[in-house]
Amino acid sequence: MLAELSMHIMDIVQNSISAGASFVRVKIEQREATDTLTIEVEDNGKGMTEEEIKKVQDPFYTTKSYKKVGLGIPLFKQTAEHCDGSFEILSTPGKGTLIRATFKSSHIDLPPMGNLKDTILTLIVGKPEVDFLFEIYKDGVSFILDTREVKKELQDVPINHPEVIKFLEEYIDTNLKAMEVVS
Amino acid sequence: MKLEDLRKIREKAEKELKLREGKARVKIVVGMGTSGIAAGAREVLKAFIDEIEKRNLQDVIVTQSGEKGLSSHEPIAEVWEEGKPVVVYGNLTPDIARRIVAEHIVNGNPVTEYVIEVKEA
């Protein structure tokens, strides 16, 4: 249903935002030596109980009153497990949630990363009030983007100002291309 | 390219912001639930952002929300303008998003064939 890993990331982060998070950390780590790709999304949202953790992995469960099913987490889990990987949710009510999915990088069914640049940019611009930390590691090379640092430089200028968007797009694109994290 | 380069942008933008002093005139909200993302909501959101950046529309903000409960019409976006009813667009593509910016946001004429609901703010 979601054609790209970067769409899964966007979807899982949306859950964090719905859970009231003011800070979201996204970590993507690719290691050739172990043939693994790990994606983590951690937030300081309202967290979940053990029972809720079980329920959100069930495709027929949702917290939304107007729909019958919640597919985001079950789809992500299914993709990880199908790609000889693993999936876990660690959460503490009142503190936040960490979702970690690991995939076998060389698995033939692993979806492409897709447009990670647009995922990062649309998250930052679409939720300017949330602080994001993106950490991307690929065999010893890294790209870290902390929007708290961006906001510090900008002071009173909003992070979704057109000139800032233009800068961020180029900045993210240049760094991702340098790491060869492309679709 | 470094984050410190943002200082130049900040200095320039601060002057403009002082001149303007106002809050956003228009808010565009794109629904970003699982089905919205699967239907292309990220590309629609990006098209709105691109168009606003390209036209330097400083009084327009683009934001995102969870699902809106109108799954069969996704991707969906709402246009909020002060003192006007909220216009809900459905079945969007990046091209239609760009049209909405040009025709509705800039020229004040909603793109009626993609309006699925008009509601009170």
Strands A131-138 and A23-31, how do they pair? parallel
Q: How many domains does chain A have?
A: 1
Beta-carbon neighbour count of residue A149 at 10 Å?
14
Contacts of B49 in chain A (CB under 8 A): 121-122, 125, 165
Domain of residue B51, CATH code: 3.40.30.10
Mean pLDDT of A55-61: 79
Tell me if chain A has a CB within 8 Å of the CB of B20. Answer: no
How large is the angle between the packed helices A5-18 and A72-82, nearest 10 degrees? Answer: 140
Rounded mean pLDDT of A163-167?
A: 92
- CA A119, A123, A85, A33 torsion: positive or negative? positive
pLDDT digits (tens, 9 = 90+) for A102-149: 999 999 999 999 999 999 999 999 999 999 999 999 988 999 999 999
Domain enclosing residue A104, as ranges: 5-178
Cβ contacts of B48 on chain A, cutoff 8 Å: none
> What is the reported pLDDT for A183?
43
Domain count, chain B: 1
In a domain, A15, yes or no: yes
Give domain status of residue B6, yes or no: no
Interface contact B37-A167, CB threshold 8 A: no
Instruction: For residue B81, give both structure tokens.
Output: 């303008």
* Three-state SS sequence of A115-150: CHHHHHHHHHHHCCCCEEEEEEEECCEEEEEEHHHH
- Provide the whole-model pTM: 0.89
**Closest-CA distance of chain A to residue B12, Å:** 9
Whether A76 is covered by a domain: the verdict is: yes
Residue of B nearest to A166 (CA): B53
B43-98 pLDDT tens trace: 999 999 999 989 988 889 999 887 766 778 999 999 999 889 999 999 999 999 99
Q: Is residue B11 part of a domain?
A: no
Q: Assess whether pLDDT exceeds 70 at residue A63.
A: no
Q: What is the 3-state secondary structure of B41-66?
A: HHHHHHHHHHHHHHCCCCCEEEEEEC
What gap in Å lies between CA B80 and CA A51, rounded to an integer?
A: 38
CATH number at residue A92: 3.30.565.10
Domain-embedded: residue B113: yes
Q: Count residue pairs from A and B with Cβ separation < 8 A.
A: 111
Chain B neighbors of A144, CB-CB under 8 A? none
Domain that holds residue B51: 23-119
Q: Say if B16 falls within a structural domain.
A: no
- Domain assignment of residue B2, yes or no: no
